[in-house]
Amino acid sequence: MALGSHAEAVIVVDSNAWADYFNDVHEAHVDRLDEALRHEEDLAVLPIIVTEVLQGFRSEPGFRRAEQLLVALPMIEPSLDCHVRAARLFRSLRGEGVTVRGAVDCMIAQVCLDLNVPLLSPDRDFQEVARHTPLRLLRG
C-alpha cells in the first residue's frame, strides 16, 4: 500500500471528483483536479475508485478516455489490515452518531489516513469523516 517517500505530495482523488471532472461540472473541486492534471501533480486512486468511475460511462469513447487516464495513475491497493481499520473507522463514526453511507468511503478515508495524504472530494460523507478524524480533505 505504501507510496514511498513521495507520499506527502500525493493527492487521492475520489470517484465523485472524477465523475464531475469527466462530466464537465464547473465546481471548485473539478477546477482543483484540472489544475493538478495540468501541472502534473502526483495523483493516486484505489482500484475501487476506478471501478466506480468507469461504471458510470454510457459511451465507449468516454469509457476508453477515462480508463486510459485512470489506469496510468499510481494505484493504492489496501491491505487486509487496512480493510479491518476501515471497518473500525465506520464503527467509531457510527458511535459518534455519524453514519457513512458506504464501506467504500470508509476504505478510501482509511487509506488516506494511513498514508497521511489528502483526499480531493466534494462528498458530504468525507466532510463528516474529516470532522471526526485527521482526514485532510480538499474540496477545491
Query: pLDDT for 97-111, tens place per residue?
Result: 998 988 899 999 999
Q: Is the pLDDT of residue 4 over 80?
A: no
Sequence-ordered list of residues with C-beta below 8 angstroms from that of 57, at least 6 positions apart, any chain:
22, 63, 66
Q: Is the pLDDT of residue 5 over 60?
A: no
Average pLDDT on 78-85 reads 97
Identity of the residue numbered 20 = D
Q: Identify the pLDDT of residue 128.
A: 94
pLDDT in tens, 17-44: 999 999 999 999 999 999 999 999 999 9
Sequence-ordered list of residues with C-beta below 8 angstroms from that of 131, at least 6 positions apart, any chain:
98
C-alpha cell at 89: 473507522
Q: Is the pLDDT of residue 6 over 90?
A: no
Average pLDDT on 87-98 reads 95
Q: Identify the pLDDT of residue 55.
A: 96
Q: Is the pLDDT of residue 2 over 90?
A: no
Q: How many degrees, rounded to 5, is the angle at CA 6 between CA 32 and CA 119? A: 35
Q: Which domains does the chain have, with CATH numbers?
A: 4-138 (3.40.50.1010)
